[in-house]
Structure 1
Amino acid sequence: MIVLLLIFALLGLALLAGGLWLAALGGSVYYAIAGAALLAVAMLLRSRRTAAQLIYALLLASTAVWALWESGYDWWPLATRLGVLLLLAIPLLWPARQASRAPALVLFGVWAVTGLVLLGSLFNDAHRIEGELTTDSVVTDPELGLAANQNDWPSYGRSNYGQRYSPLEQITPDNVAELELAWEYQTGDLKGPEDVTETTYQATPLKIGNSLFLCTPHNWLVALDADSGEELWVYDAKVPAESQRQHQTCRGVSYLAPAAERTSTTASVPASEPAQDLAAIRCDAQLYMPTSDARLIAVDPQTGARCSNFADNGVLDLMHNMPHTQDGFYYSTSPPVVAAGLIVVAGAVNDNYDINAPSGVIRAYDARTGELRWNWDSANPEDTAPIAEGDTYATSSPNSWAVASADEELGLIYFPMGNRTPDQLGMYRTPEEEKYASSVVALSLETGQAQWVQQFVHHDLWDMDTPAQPSLVDIQTEQGLQPGLVVPTKQGDVYVLNRETGEPLLPISEVPAPQGAIEGDWTAPTQPVSALSFAPEPLRSADMWGATLVDQMICRIQFESLHYEGRYTPPSEQGTLVYPGNFGVFNWGSIAVDPERQVMFGMPLYLAFTSKLVAKEEGKDLEGATNSGEQGLNENAGAEYAVELSPFLSPLGIPCQQPPWGYVAGADLRTGETHWKHKNGTVQDMTPLPLKIKMGVPGIGGPIITRGGVAFLAASVDNYFRAYRLTDGEQLWEQRIPAGGQATPMTYLNSQGEQMVVLVAGGHGSVGTTIGDYVLAYKLGSEE
C-alpha cells in the first residue's frame, strides 16, 4: 500500500507542477487537474478508499473523453494518455472491507469500457490511405536515359535520368517472397574512434559488364564479381581523418564508357594485388570516385590502377581556386555526372561553421583528361569560362551536394541546389545567391550557362536544401507527352516540371508565410506549394507525445515554449520549432518513378527539429565545444549569431510528436493525387525490448522500382530490407539484415540471366542504426 501511495503521490506532484507550468504558457489545463486528482487519491486511499475509487473513476473517464477529443480514435496517442492510468487502476478495483461495493463496481465499469475502447483502436489505422495506382502502361517504350545494356546499372540512379527504375521483370509480386540471400561480402571498412558522428554507409553499387563497383565511407573503391560477390580489387584513396567534416560517406562512383563500346569493360585481377600499388596506366573506360578530402580520383575498371591520362596521374584536386581552404569544409559525398564527354562535379560545404567557407561552384572537366571546361558559381552565374590561374571562386556560395541528372539530347544538366552558409541567417546573401538557392537549376552541358531555375523556398532560413536527385520522366499531359522532371523536397512538396523550360506541369501556388525575422534579416511574404505534396498539417500542442503522461507533458511545455506559427516560422533567439525538420520529408534517397505507369514510390517521413539563434559578443567566439556536426551548437564564425540545432525529442529520446513518423506512399505524377500511404517500419531496433511493433518509423535512404511491379526499400531505422507491391503499397517480403540499410538498393541480371537485388548495409552514425560493412545480394530461390 505504501508503494502505491508513493506512486500516486509522486505522479500527482509531477503532473500538478508541470501542468501549472504548462497552463501558464497557455497550454492544456488537463495535466494540472489530473495531478490534483492523483494527489487526492493518494491522500484518501488509506482512510477513505471508496472516495478514492470514485475520484479515480472520474479521472479515468474524463481522461478517456479528453484523449478521444484531442487525438481521435488512434492507438498510439490514446495508449500514452490512458495506459498508465489503466494500469494504476488495477490495485483499486477491489472494494474496501465492510464498505459499499458500488464505488469499486463503478471504477471497474469505467476501467473495462476504457480498456475496450483503447484495445479497439489497435485495429483502426487512422493514418492509412487506401487505394491503387494504375496497372496499365500510360507510355509504351518510355525513355530510360540508358542506351547501353538494359541488364546493367551503370549510374547512381541507374541512368543520368535518375529514375531508379529497372525494366527487369523476373521478380514479381507473385514470387518476390521467394527471394533468398545469394551472396554476402564485407568490405572491412568500419567506423573508427576518430571518425565524425555522421560516418555513414550510403553507397549504391554500379553494375557494368559482370562487375559491381562501389565505394565505402573512407573512400575505398571496391570491385566485385556480379555473380558471386568475389572481390576483384580494392583501391584505397587513403583519406586522412578530419574532425571538421560534417559527413564521412560516399554515395557512389561514376563511370565513363570506353571509346568503343565493348560487351564487357571489366576483368578479374587477383584480389591479393592491392590496386593502389599499381602504376598509373592510360585508361580507356574510367571510374571516378569523389573523396572526403576533396579529390576526384579516376581509376581503370579492369585493374583499379589510377588513370595517367586524367589530371595528375588520376587525381584531381577539387580545392583549386577556392577562396577558403579549411580542412574538412568542402568535399563531394555524391557521385559526379558523366555526360557529353564531361565529368561534372559539385560538392558539399559545411553548414554553419564559418561565414567564410569554400565556394559551392559546379565544375565541368574533360572526362578523359581532367581539363576544366566550364565552371558555374551561383554567386557569379554569368561568367562560366574556366577560371584563370590565381583567381578564386565566390565565398560560401550556394552548393549542390545531392546527385544531379542530365539529358544529353536536350543538352542540359540539372542540379538540386542548397543554400549559402549560414543556413539560418540570410543577411549575407547577394541577389544572385538568393535567386539560385534552394532550387533546381538547369545548366547547359556545353557552356555551363543557366537555362532556367525553379525555386522551392524563398529566402531559405531553415536549411531546406533541395536534397534529392531530380528524376527525368516524360509526362503525359492534355497537351501531349512532355519532357518532365520530378524532384522531391525536404518540406514535402514534389515538383513536376517541364525539364526543357522549367515550367510547372503540376500547378505551383504561393501561400502566405509567417513573418518576424530577427533584426537585420527578413522573411519572404509567400512560399511556393506544389499540387503534389506530402507536407504535413501544422503541429498542435495536442500532437505532442511521450511514453507516459509525464514526458508527454514535458513535450507540451517545450512546444509551448518554442516559437511556432507553422511551416517556415523564422529562426529566433527564443528557439523555433521547424516542421518538417531539415531531415526532411524527403532527403538524398529521393523517390523512384515508373516512366511507363507515370507514378512514383516514396518514403515520406515526419520529424520536427528545433533551431535557436545564440547571440555572440562582437569579435568573440563562443566558449565550449562547437562544430560537432550538423546537429548541436555550430559557431557560424564571423556572424553575429551561432545556431543550435537538434531533433525535437522527449526526455526519453523519442520524438515529441506522436507517430507515425515514417510511411511509404504512391502517387500519380499526371494528377498529383496520392493513391495510397501506409506506415512503414517497426520499433524493433529503437527500444531496449526487441518488439516488432509496426509504428511507422523514420528512415533515410531511397527506393527502386522494377517493371515487374515491385518496389524495394530498406532505409528505415529497423534493420530490415523490404519489398512492396507498387500498385497498392502492400509489403510482400522482408529480410532481416545485419546492419542499418541506409542506402538505396539496385538490381541487375547476372551472367546466368538471374535477376539480382543488391543492398549495402552499413548503418548511419547520426541516425544510430547498427554499423556494419555488408554488401548483400538476393535472388529468387532455386526450384526444387
Structure 2
Amino acid sequence: MVATITGIAIALLGAALAVGGVWLAALGGSWYYILAAVGFLATGILLFMHRAAALYVYAAVVLGTLIWAIWEAGFDWWQLAPRGDIVVLIGIWLLLPFVTRSLKRDFFDPRPAAWRGAGIPLGLSLVFAVGVAIYALLTPSSDLPGQLPAARVADAATGPSGEAAEVPAEDWPAYGRTEFGQKYSPLDQIHAGNVEHLKVAWQYHTGDTRRQGDPKETTYEVTPLKIGDTLYLCTPHNLAIALDAATGEEKWRYDPEVGTEASRQHQTCRGVSYYQSPEGADSATATECPARIYLPTSDARLIALNAATGEVCRSFGEDGQVNLWANMPNLQNGFYYSTSAPVIARGLVVVGGSVNDNVSTTEPSGVIRAYDIDTGDLLWNWDAGRPDETTPIADGETYTANSPNSWTTMSADPGLGLLYVPLGNAPPDQWGGNRTPETERFSSSIVALDLVTGELRWVFQTVHHDLWDMDVPSQPSLIDLQIGGNTVPAVVQATKQGDIYVLDRRTGEPILPVTEEPAPQGAAKGDHAAKTQPTSALSLKPPRLTEHDLWGATMFDQLVCRVEFHQYRWEGRFTPPSTEGSLVHPGNFGVFNWGGVAVDPVRQIVFGTPSYLAFVSKLIPRENPEKNYVSEGKPGLNENYGAPFAVSLKPFTSPIGLPCQAPPWGYVAGADLTTGQVAYMHRNGTVRDRSPIPLPFKMGVPDLGGPILTAGNLAFMSGSLDYYVRAFDATTGEQLWRDRLPAGGQATPMTYAVDGKQYLLVVAGGHGSLGTKTGDSIIAYALPSN
C-alpha cells in the first residue's frame, strides 16, 4: 500500500516537472527538468507496479541530478541544496522498509528488495550526494579573501582643507562626522583586540512608534550627533531629542507636530545639523541661540532650535522656521519633504528635499536652497530646470516642476568653497519620453555648486537617461588621496548600480578610470535608451544574471523562477523597462543605498556593504488618466499620472516569496581607493529573522543603513536584515563581534567619547518597507570599566 501511494505521488511530481520542463525548454532553458520528469514518472510507475527496478531508476535520477547540479553551480552549497533536496529526501524514503518490503522479490528470498541488491545503487548514490553536500557546506565558494594595507598616510587624518583637524576626536558633530561625509572616527580605544568585550552601557527609548495613518515606509534611519556632553537626534515623526552622552538621560525634546499624512511616501528623519555661532557674533539669532540644532521635517519646514534647551529660535526665519513649500509648484500635502540633515558651511544652511516617486508628471521641484545660518533669509537657489539662475527667486514665481531632487545627504568642502549634491532621477523614473535637456543633463548625477553663489562648477552623470530609478543615493565622501606621489583632492561616490566613482573634486574628472559600455536598446514607445552607460574601474556591480544563478527552496519553485526568467526581458544591466516585464539587476533597492560607504583618510580605503537583489519592472499602459493601475488610494505611487505608463515594481521572487536569485544577497567589502582594487568580499548576515523558523544560516542578507570606520581598525554596521550590530576587522573584513538588537537596525551607527571613554551608538527602530521589527531604541555600547 505504501509503495502504491508513493508511486502515485512520485508520478504526480514527475508530471509537474514534465509540464514545467517542456515549458522551460521551449523558452530556451535547461533540459534537465524533462529528463528528471522521465525518471520520476518511470520510478512512480514501477513503484505502482511494485517492481524493484524503481530503485535502480531512481538511483540514476539521483546521480544525474548531482552531476547536473555540480555542472551548473559548482560546489556552492546554497545552490546545490535546492537542486537536490527533494531528490535526496525521496531517495531516502524509498529505502525505508515499509516501502521496499512490498516490492516484488523471489519466492525463496524473504528479504526486502532493497537489501537483495536493488537498493544498493540507490544507497551508494545517496551516500555520494550527501558527501558532496558536506564538502560544499565546508567549502565557502562565494567569498573573496584578502586584506587591505594596514597603514599608509601618516598625516592624512587632518582631511580635506584641514576641517577634520578642527573637530575634537571625541565628537561626531555632523551626519558623516564632518561635512566631508567620511564616516570615519580617529578614536581607537575600542579596537580589533578588545571589541569582543563590548557591552551595553545604556539604552534609551524615544517613545516615537508607528501611528495610525502612517505610510508603509515609516522608518528609523537617524544617525545622532554628539557635541560636548550631549547627543542630538530626531525620530521618524521629527521629534528632536537631546540626551546626556554618558548616561542616555533625556535633557530635552521638541515636537514639531508634523502629524500623519497618507500621501507621504516616507516618514523618517536621517539626521539633524548643528551650528555654533563664533565668538563675538551679534546677530539676534546668535544672541538668542548661540548653539543651534537645525531640524528638517516631513511637512516641509526647517526649524532652528536652541541646542541647550530645545526651544525654538524665534529670530530665525519666520518665528523660528523656514517654509520649504515657498515658491514650490504643484502644492500637494505629503508630496515634498526633507528627510536628510542639511549641510552647514560658510555661514549657510543648505537644504534639499524629496518628492514622491513616480506619482505623476506634475510634482514639486527638486530645487537646492541655501539660507543664511542666522536669519533664515534665502541667499541662493539652484534649480536643475534653470541651472544658471541662482539669484533668490522672486515672490510669485515658482521653481521648475519635476526636476531632479536631492533626497539624500550632501557634502561640502569649505576650503574649496564647493557643495557636492547627489541628485536623483526626475519622475517618472521608468519612462523618460518627455524629459527636458536640463533633466537629461542632471538626472542621476553628482553636481558641484559654488557655496557662496550656488553657481554650477561641474557635473558628473552616473547613469545616462535613467530608466531604472538609479538615483545617486548617498552622501559623497571627500578625501585627499596620495596617487603617484601627489595629493589629489577626491570625492568618492557610491551608487545603486554598484559603481564607486572616484573623481577629482575640483573638476569632476575621474581619478580612477571610467569607461562607457554599450547598453541594451529598445525602450518603450515614445522613449529611447542611452547607447552607452558609464562604469567605474572600482565597481561592486553584480555579475550578469544567468539561468544557472536562479534559486528556490526546492527544484520546483526554482523551476518556476527559471520559466519566469526566460519570459522577462533581460539583456544585462540597463535592460530597458517593458510591457512584458524586464529584469533589473541590481534592482532599484541598489547595491548601495542612502547608507553609502565609509572611507579611511589615513589608510586610503573604502568599506561598504553591497547588496544584490533583482527586481522586475513592468510598464502598464495607462488608458484612463485618473485610474489606479498598480496601487490603492493615496498617494498613487508608481501610477505616473500624466505619462503613458504606470509601472509595477517588485522583487524577483519565487511563488513562496524567496528571492529567485541564489544567495549571498549581502556582503561586506573593502577596497583600495588609490588603485580601485577590491581586496575582500565576505557574505554578511543570517536569515534568522527572515525565515519562518529562526535558522541562523549565514547566507548573506541585504543591508540598508551604512557602515562607519575607526582608527581602531574596525568597521561597524547594523543595517542588515537580521537584528544584529556587528564589528569587522577593517583590514580583512573578518567579523569580530556582534550583539543582538531588539528591532531592525536600519540606520548608520556612530561613535564618540566622553571623559575618555569611547562609546558605539546604535539605533534600532525597524524599517517599514523592509518589514523588519519596529522599535524605538537608542543603544550605547562601551568596554567594561575594569
1:675 aligns with 2:690: no
| 2:551 aligned residue (537, 545, 548) | 545
**CA 1:136–1:148 in structure 2 vs 1: closer, same or farther (change >3 Å)?**
closer
1:39 equivalent in structure 2: 41
Which sits farther off after the overlay, 129-138 or 570-579? 129-138
* Cα distance between partner residues in 2 of 1:589 and 1:428: 31
* Cα distance between partner residues in 1 of 2:542 and 2:117: 47
SS of residue matched to 2:606: strand
1:775 aligns with 2:781: no
SS of residue matched to 1:87: helix
8 Å CA contact retained: 1:280, 1:308:
no
Which one-letter code corresponds to 1:694 in the other structure? Answer: K
2:768 equivalent in structure 1: 765
1:70 equivalent in structure 2: 72
Which sits farther off after the overlay, 6-15 or 154-163? 6-15
1:626 Cα deviation after fit? 4.0
1:714 Cα deviation after fit? 0.8
* Cα distance between partner residues in 2 of 1:706 and 1:407: 21
8 Å CA contact retained: 1:497, 1:503:
yes
* Cα distance between partner residues in 1 of 2:66 and 2:434: 52
**CA 1:280–1:222 in structure 2 vs 1: closer, same or farther (change >3 Å)?**
farther
1:110 aligns with 2:125: yes
| 2:665 aligned residue (638, 661, 665) | 661
1:103 Cα deviation after fit? 2.5
1:323 Cα deviation after fit? 1.1
Which one-letter code corresponds to 1:676 in the other structure? Answer: Y
Q: Deviations over 1:739-769 (max 9, x none)?
A: 001000000111x210001011001011111
* Cα distance between partner residues in 2 of 1:419 and 1:582: 12
* Cα distance between partner residues in 1 of 2:58 and 2:739: 46
8 Å CA contact retained: 2:723, 2:740:
yes
8 Å CA contact retained: 1:298, 1:307:
yes
1:281 Cα deviation after fit? 9.0
Q: Deviations over 1:667-700 (max 9, x none)?
A: 0000000111100000110112111111101120
1:185 equivalent in structure 2: 204
* Cα distance between partner residues in 2 of 1:122 and 1:480: 47
| 1:486 aligned residue (485, 488, 492) | 492
SS of residue matched to 2:563: helix
Q: Describe how 1:373-392 pairs up with structure 2 within 5 A.
A: 373-392=379-398
| 1:17 aligned residue (13, 16, 19) | 19
Compute the TM-score of the two structures, normalised by the length of structure 1. 0.95
1:259 Cα deviation after fit? 2.3
1:705 aligns with 2:724: no
Which one-letter code corresponds to 1:634 in the other structure? Answer: N
1:60 equivalent in structure 2: 62
**CA 1:607–1:261 in structure 2 vs 1: closer, same or farther (change >3 Å)?**
farther
Q: Describe how 1:297-376 pairs up with structure 2 within 5 A.
A: 297-376=303-382
| 2:135 aligned residue (99, 104, 120) | 120
1:136 aligns with 2:151: yes
Q: Deviations over 1:279-304 (max 9, x none)?
A: 99932211111111111111101110
* Cα distance between partner residues in 2 of 1:353 and 1:525: 27
**CA 1:25–1:536 in structure 2 vs 1: closer, same or farther (change >3 Å)?**
same
Q: Deviations over 1:104-151 (max 9, x none)?
A: 101111111011011110011111111110111324243333313221
1:754 equivalent in structure 2: 757
2:295 equivalent in structure 1: 289
Compute the TM-score of the two structures, normalised by the length of structure 2. 0.95
Q: Describe how 1:696-735 pairs up with structure 2 within 5 A.
A: 696-735=700-739
* Cα distance between partner residues in 1 of 2:295 and 2:18: 59
Q: Describe how 1:139-150 pairs up with structure 2 within 5 A.
A: 139-144=154-159, 145-146=163-164, 147-150=166-169
Which sits farther off after the overlay, 140-149 or 575-584? 140-149
8 Å CA contact retained: 1:627, 1:633:
no
2:251 equivalent in structure 1: 232
Q: How many residues align?
A: 764
8 Å CA contact retained: 1:259, 1:285:
no
2:688 equivalent in structure 1: 684
1:399 equivalent in structure 2: 405
SS of residue matched to 1:60: helix
* Cα distance between partner residues in 2 of 1:583 and 1:560: 22
SS of residue matched to 1:344: strand
* Cα distance between partner residues in 2 of 1:349 and 1:623: 20
1:635 equivalent in structure 2: 639
8 Å CA contact retained: 1:139, 1:476:
no
* Cα distance between partner residues in 1 of 2:265 and 2:22: 41
* Cα distance between partner residues in 1 of 2:445 and 2:439: 11
1:157 equivalent in structure 2: 176
* Cα distance between partner residues in 2 of 1:193 and 1:68: 51
8 Å CA contact retained: 2:766, 2:773:
yes
Which one-letter code corresponds to 1:190 in the other structure? Answer: T
1:273 equivalent in structure 2: none
Which one-letter code corresponds to 1:106 in the other structure? Answer: P
* Cα distance between partner residues in 2 of 1:762 and 1:6: 50
1:16 Cα deviation after fit? 1.8
Q: Describe how 1:471-482 pairs up with structure 2 within 5 A.
A: 471-478=477-484, 480-482=486-488
8 Å CA contact retained: 1:280, 1:307:
no
* Cα distance between partner residues in 1 of 2:736 and 2:546: 35
Q: Deviations over 1:288-327 (max 9, x none)?
A: 1111111111110111000111111112110110111111
1:246 Cα deviation after fit? 1.0
| 2:222 aligned residue (197, 200, 203) | 203
* Cα distance between partner residues in 2 of 1:623 and 1:167: 52
SS of residue matched to 1:312: coil
8 Å CA contact retained: 2:630, 2:648:
no
CA RMSD between the two structures: 1.7
1:30 aligns with 2:32: yes
Which one-letter code corresponds to 1:554 in the other structure? Answer: V
1:213 aligns with 2:219: no
**CA 1:7–1:258 in structure 2 vs 1: closer, same or farther (change >3 Å)?**
farther
Which one-letter code corresponds to 1:242 in the other structure? Answer: E
1:50 aligns with 2:52: yes
SS of residue matched to 1:222: strand
Q: Describe how 1:79-90 pairs up with structure 2 within 5 A.
A: 79-90=81-92
Q: Deviations over 1:430-474 (max 9, x none)?
A: 111111111100000011011011111001000000001000000
* Cα distance between partner residues in 1 of 2:719 and 2:287: 38
* Cα distance between partner residues in 2 of 1:541 and 1:291: 45
* Cα distance between partner residues in 2 of 1:384 and 1:627: 38
* Cα distance between partner residues in 1 of 2:12 and 2:693: 26
**CA 1:620–1:313 in structure 2 vs 1: closer, same or farther (change >3 Å)?**
closer
Q: Describe how 1:605-644 pairs up with structure 2 within 5 A.
A: 605-617=611-623, 619-622=625-628, 625-626=631-632, 634-644=638-648
8 Å CA contact retained: 2:342, 2:349:
yes
1:429 Cα deviation after fit? 1.2
* Cα distance between partner residues in 1 of 2:673 and 2:140: 26
1:619 Cα deviation after fit? 4.1
Q: Describe how 1:505-654 pairs up with structure 2 within 5 A.
A: 505-617=511-623, 619-622=625-628, 625-626=631-632, 634-654=638-658
* Cα distance between partner residues in 2 of 1:464 and 1:135: 34
8 Å CA contact retained: 2:630, 2:638:
no
**CA 1:620–1:224 in structure 2 vs 1: closer, same or farther (change >3 Å)?**
closer
| 1:176 aligned residue (195, 200, 221) | 195
Which sits farther off after the overlay, 402-411 or 686-695? 686-695
* Cα distance between partner residues in 1 of 2:156 and 2:477: 17
* Cα distance between partner residues in 1 of 2:359 and 2:501: 31
* Cα distance between partner residues in 1 of 2:447 and 2:154: 27
8 Å CA contact retained: 2:356, 2:637:
no
* Cα distance between partner residues in 2 of 1:656 and 1:157: 35
SS of residue matched to 2:118: helix
Mind listing any 5+ residue stretches in structure 1 that lack a counterpart? 263-278
SS of residue matched to 1:655: coil
Percent identity between the two aligned chains: 53
Q: Describe how 1:436-447 pairs up with structure 2 within 5 A.
A: 436-447=442-453
